[in-house]
Every structure is written in C-alpha cells, then in structure tokens.
Structure 1
Amino acid sequence: MIVRKIAFVASRVDVAASLMAEELIRITGSEEFSIGNAKAWLSRPEGEVLYAQSEEDLGADGADLIVILSRHSGVPGRPIITTHVSGNFGDAPFGGEPYTLSNACPPFMKLFLQEAEKRAPEVGFDIGFESTHHGPTLDTPLAFVEIGCGPEEWSNRSAARVVVESSLSALRRMLSADFAGFTHAVGFGGPHINSYFTKIQLKSPELAIGQALRRHDSEKASERAIRMAFERNFGPTEVAIVDWKGLRGKEKSRILGILEEMGVRVMRARNIAHSL
C-alpha cells in the first residue's frame, strides 16, 4: 500500500494530544510538512477521537495513513508509551462499530516501538504494544500513539517529544526507498499489553503485528471480526501469532478452528519471543 498523505490527529480535549501537537509543530516548524515524499498535516478536532464517525470528523479525509496522538489510561499504571489500532472484536462501549475493526498499519507500529525504545528510557517511560480496542472504526489505515497512564504523564513534555520524534523517525524509515517491509501478522491471546507481542515488535527482523485480540475480548469476538483482522492489516496477512497460555481452552479451540479453516500459518508467541 502506497502512503503519500499522512494526517496527524490531536484532539483539543486531550491534554496529552495537545502537548504532542505542540511538539510536532515545534519539530517540523508547521502544521503542514513533508516526510520523505509524503505530505503530512496536523488536524485538531474539537471532540474525542474515539467517537468519530468518519475520516472527515478527524480532519483526515484524503489521508493514506492516520496517526492519532492520544493519552493512554489504565494498565499498567506506570509511565508508558504505547501504540495500537482501534476496533471492536465484540461490542462497542467506547466508540466505533461493534464487531468491526479499523485498518491497521503493522510496519508503522513496529517501527514506532523500535524508535521509542531508543528514546523512552531516558525520560523514564516503558513501551508497550496494545491490543485492538475502542473506536473509531475507519477504512483508512491508522495507529494510535499514546502517553500513559495518568495526568502526570499526560503533561510530560519530554514524553510528548519522544512520541513525536519516534513517529516521524518510524515514518521516514517506512517511506524510504530501501524499506523492504515485514511479514504482517495478527496476534491472539494474553493481556491487554502482551509482553510477547511487544518483544516480537521490537526484536523480530521479519514479523510485524497489526491487529491483536486480547484474552478479555476472546469470548465475545465474532468469527466475522476474526476474519476481518486478516483483511484489515495493511495488505495480505497469512500469519497468526498465538499466546497459547493466554487463551482459555474453549475459546482457544474455537479460534484455532477458525484459523485452520482460513488456512493461515499459526505460530506460538512464546516460542518466537524466546528465540529473539
């Protein structure tokens, strides 16, 4: 998939997003700028991005890729920088459509975490790869890049700088002429921030995870949504990475049955992570 136009989105009601927007303008010098041969711009919608109904609501219509600058709440309760795609494997209590996923961008998320790993420790932050969750559910490939987990971290300008610099560096790498790409994969099982998946994103020279179904959502995940995860993953995806002990027996059997029917290659997350 060719990326020629990139929208950075930062809600005005999100403290962390607003700080990252300031850093983006400071670093690039403008709300409109170039990354390699791609045109990029910053959009500042008034409302919460989770409940956007369209790319136009985000000021991102016409973009080939959307990078959403955002705060992160909840686990693990310590300073962390994360990335994920939005979507709902089950119902939709926090925006988006039920049983529907946005398009993911595995190479950007992988490269973002690799770049963040270089910078985050110096400002006292961990990094992590999150599972697919909440809205919006859009057709344009997108990725959230986030600062968590509370008000103190959301107001940390150094962390905002790290997220912006890591995003720009990841995009430069992804858009460079010599970028060879990765084998895209879908993750299954384990906690919301899965250490196996995070390690694979950081260390595997070949695999890049986009969509990821956490254990918490596995029971209510529809077969339609599971199949959609492979269709909305930035191009053909034929690899499933399964956290074997991170799924309950009944749900693991059901999901593995769907994957077998689809004919995708199933790899064990623990084995991959331990080999890196």
Structure 2
Amino acid sequence: MSKLIVCSEADLPSVNMRASLLRMHEWEDLGSFDGSSYMSSGDCLMMSIPDMHIRHDGLDREAERFGIKVDSVIVMSRHSAKSGRPALTAHPIGNYHEAEHGGRPETLVRACPSEMTDAVRRIHEYNRDPGVQTCFEVTHHGPYLDKPTFYIEIGSDESHWGDMHSAELLAHVISDLEPHDEYPILVGIGGGHYAPRFTEAVLSSKVNFGHMIPNYQLEGRDDDDIARMVRDACDASGTDSVYVHRKSMKGPEAHRISDIVRSAGFDTVASKDFEPISGN
C-alpha cells in the first residue's frame, strides 16, 4: 500500500505537519513535477503543492503522472469554525449538493473508512488537552480525486493554526496508523457537522465510518434526493450498512429516513449491534 500525504504551501497547519513528519523520519527527495515537489519514506509519499488543496482537483492523478503509485490520500489541513474552539478533526470529502468549496456538485470522493477512523481514535488517545475537541466532521468540500481520501485538520481559527504541538500530534497520528480493516464499515446519517454520535461510536465500538450525512443535508430534501445521497455515500464508502442517528431527529423523520435507506436496498444497523472495543 502506498499512502500519499498532501501538504499545501498555502496552509500553515499543513506546512507545520509536514515539518513534523520531516523531523520524525528519513525522507528521500524525489524531485518536482508540474509545480509540486515529492518526497518518500518507506510506503509514504509526500506531495507539496503551491496552492490550496480544496480546489486542486486530480492531485492523485498528478502524482501518478510523476510516476508514483497512489492507493490512498491523506490531506493535511487547517479547519475553520466560527466558534474558535480548538479542534483536531478528520473527515471524508465530496459534495452532496452544491460545490461551494471545491470538488464537483453531487459527487463524493471515495472514503478511507478504516484509516480515517483509526486516525480519530489515535487523535483521541494522543490528545491530553480536554480543551481540544477530537471528532469526525461530516463529508464536505473538495477537491475531487479518484483515490480514497480523507482530511486531517487543526482548528479552529488563526490563533490555533500555528500550534506546533497539534501539528506534531497529528504527524504522529499519520505515522502510526494501523487501520482495522476487519471492522464493519458504516455510513452515518443524522446529527450535526461534528458528528458527536459517530465519534463516540468509534471510540467505544469495533466499527469504522465512511461518509456521513448530517441533518442539515436532509432538510427540505425529497425521498428521491435522500435515496441518491444514501446510494452515493454507501458506494463511496464500500458498504451496504447505514447507521441512522435516530435520537438526533424527531420520531417520524427517523422512521422516514430509515424507510428510505431500506427501500434503496441498504441495511440499517443499531448501536446495540456494535461489538465493544476491549476495555470499554
């Protein structure tokens, strides 16, 4: 497996995570191509681009034209939130509807459920500061890529983006990933942008999450559009199993969403079916 780690020179946390990774391992300079530079260390490859990643479609194809085999992609990034709360996050990418922040409309990028979920578990394990939030974010923004991809981020505003401790922590997370591919993969539906229920589930149970559809993406949508989102999310996550966060919805809406999921040909699972992680 070859893992492509992407650094954006226009993104301070991305640059700081790269600096931490460069200190932690021996890297070989592979040269430059089409404005980007490349380095390798074991099965990890690092691509540094001059522009912001969210609008740089086809990063994986560029790397492969350079001669690098890409199996999965991790993009190092900053995270912005009006709350300003410090946070360390990971999330899949793509757009359920409009493409206001890069990527393609109504198009999801293939998820990395086991790698992304392991990243969240390790962030939670390594983060000793209770004031720093550890969580998934739901699927949002670009770029468009062909290979399975997830983002790992430092937030939530400029006062936190330059924090070197956070950059080093996430660099260790990236280096230490040992995904549990044997755990069942779920698509999550419901809740808010920071997916607290899905985060809680992976910290206590042997499940991996791929794409996640929050309540705000469901509001005002008809059954056909919701069914399309579910199909896209399951296809891009490699699963037929969906976990509906029923407590985040009113009863009739939870029934409606569950019925749409099943009518679209997918299974709904309940948290009582999850196998606990040893010690929890």
* Normalised-by-shorter TM-score class: 0.7 to 0.9
- Shift of the 226–58 alpha-carbon distance from structure 1 to 2, 3 Å rule, reads farther
TM-score, normalising length: structure 1: 0.85
TM-score, normalising length: structure 2: 0.84
Q: Deviations over 1:10-52 (max 9, x none)?
A: 1110011011111111111223111xxxx21111111111112
Q: Which amino acid aligns with 1:160?
A: A
Contact 1:100–1:225 (CA under 8 A) maintained in structure 2: no
Unaligned residue ranges in structure 1 (runs of 5+)? none
Q: Secondary structure of 1:43's partner?
A: strand
Deviation, structure 1 residue 124: 5.1
Q: Secondary structure of 1:113's partner?
A: helix
Contact 1:10–1:45 (CA under 8 A) maintained in structure 2: yes
Equivalent residue, structure 1, for 2:235: 231
**Structure 1 position 129 matched with structure 2 position 155:** no
Q: Secondary structure of 2:127's partner?
A: helix
Equivalent residue, structure 2, for 1:262: 264
Give, in whole Å, the separation in 1 of the partners of 2:95 and 2:151.
15
Q: Which amino acid aligns with 1:181?
A: E
Give, in whole Å, the separation in 2 of the partners of 1:193 and 1:99.
21
- Shift of the 226–76 alpha-carbon distance from structure 1 to 2, 3 Å rule, reads farther
Q: Which amino acid aligns with 2:142?
A: G
Equivalent residue, structure 2, for 1:98: 105
Give, in whole Å, the separation in 2 of the partners of 1:129 and 1:269.
17
Q: Secondary structure of 1:8's partner?
A: strand
Give, in whole Å, the separation in 2 of the partners of 1:75 and 1:267.
33
Q: Secondary structure of 2:10's partner?
A: coil
- Shift of the 158–122 alpha-carbon distance from structure 1 to 2, 3 Å rule, reads same
Equivalent residue, structure 2, for 1:32: 40
Deviation, structure 1 residue 75: 5.8
Deviation, structure 1 residue 265: 2.3
Deviation, structure 1 residue 151: 1.1
Give, in whole Å, the separation in 1 of the partners of 2:226 and 2:105.
10
Equivalent residue, structure 2, for 1:209: 209
Give, in whole Å, the separation in 1 of the partners of 2:47 and 2:256.
41
Give, in whole Å, the separation in 2 of the partners of 1:58 and 1:188.
33
Q: Which one of the candidate residues 2, 5, 23 is aligned to 2:2?
A: 5
Equivalent residue, structure 2, for 1:200: 201
Structure 1 range deviating more: 123-132 or 88-97: 123-132
**Structure 1 position 14 matched with structure 2 position 11:** yes
Q: Deviations over 1:172-218 (max 9, x none)?
A: x23xxxx562100000011101211111121112x111100011111
Equivalent residue, structure 1, for 2:78: 71
Unaligned residue ranges in structure 2 (runs of 5+)? 28-38
- Shift of the 52–225 alpha-carbon distance from structure 1 to 2, 3 Å rule, reads farther
**Structure 1 position 42 matched with structure 2 position 39:** no
Equivalent residue, structure 2, for 1:181: 182
Greater radius of gyration (CA): 2
Contact 2:204–2:276 (CA under 8 A) maintained in structure 1: no
- Shift of the 90–138 alpha-carbon distance from structure 1 to 2, 3 Å rule, reads same
CA RMSD of aligned residues (A): 2.6
Give, in whole Å, the separation in 2 of the partners of 1:11 and 1:186.
29
Contact 2:103–2:141 (CA under 8 A) maintained in structure 1: yes
